[in-house]
Amino acid sequence: MIWRAVANTNKKKMEGNGEPDSKGTCGSEDETRRENVSGPCADRTSKSDTADPRRNRLKLFNKVMEKSLERLIADVSFHRFAKTFHPFYKQKPQLTESIHKQFVSELQAAIQDDIAQIMEEGNLQYKLEELDRLEAAATESMDPAWRPSGVPEKDLCSFVMPYYMQQRQYLHRELKKLQKENATLAQKAQVGRERIALTEQRIASSVEEWRATAGTLEALESLSPSQNFDNL
């Protein structure tokens, strides 16, 4: 009852003076809105806390996004909104309040969607969890951590040589593959040459047979009776 009386009093003040009261209904609405700010970040934070307590980076990221969203929503107060659109608020205060609520709701939903899209496109959850796993593995490892020796050439060589060795092994594998492919292609080419040579031999033998047949026909034509009678 007291809260309703205070709210009605503040509302009458705003309608009478033409300016919103920053300590009245708007303040209580902003506090309630800040308490009710929730979204994918808060949900993921609670789920990550119950699922695995070691997800420190993901929890920190969600906390930062949640606090940033709370501050942004707090800055978009009804007092500032009404002060910006003072002529419209003076004529229709209830409609201005309704528009402000819808504006804050859509703004909050849009920001939450953008955060969720960024996390999905960048695969941030997996990467942050991977960083936590690497940190845990480094903490549990008993091997001494790498330290520079003080000689830049030696440190650079120790860092670059494994990469060059990997590249060398990769090039050797690729060279063997190419040599194997070249040998296969050379074998296929040799088979093709042999087929071409065999075809040429068949063509040559066919030509010889045709020539022999043509010579026989010419000889038979020379022995025809019509030519013998003409010679007589």
pLDDT in tens, 142-181: 777 777 888 888 888 888 888 999 999 999 999 999 999 9
Shared domain for 8 and 118, answered yes or no, is yes
Contact predicate 40/65, CB 8 Å: no
Task: Give the pLDDT of residue 231.
Answer: 53
* Separation CA 150–CA 192 (nearest Å): 64
pLDDT at 141 over 80: no
pLDDT in tens, 78-104: 888 888 888 888 888 889 888 988 988
Question: Inter-axis angle of helices 93-122 and 40-51, to 10 degrees?
Answer: 50
Question: Quick check: is 232 in a domain?
Answer: no
Task: Give the pLDDT of residue 179.
Answer: 95
Question: Quick check: is 189 in a domain?
Answer: yes
The whole model's pTM is what? 0.37
Shared domain for 39 and 83, answered yes or no, is yes
Task: Give the pLDDT of residue 223.
Answer: 65
Query: Which is more confident, 175 or 215?
Result: 175
Cβ neighbors of 48 (< 8 A, separation 6 or more) are: 55, 58, 59, 62
Q: Could you list the residue range(s) of the whole structural domain that residue 193 is in?
A: 160-205
189 confidence band (pLDDT: 50, 70, 90):
very high
Helix or strand (DSSP H, E) at 66: helix 56-75
Shared domain for 87 and 32, answered yes or no, is yes
Question: Quick check: is 45 in a domain?
Answer: yes
Question: Quick check: is 39 in a domain?
Answer: yes
What region does 179 belong to: left with phi over 0, alpha with psi -120 to 50, or beta?
alpha
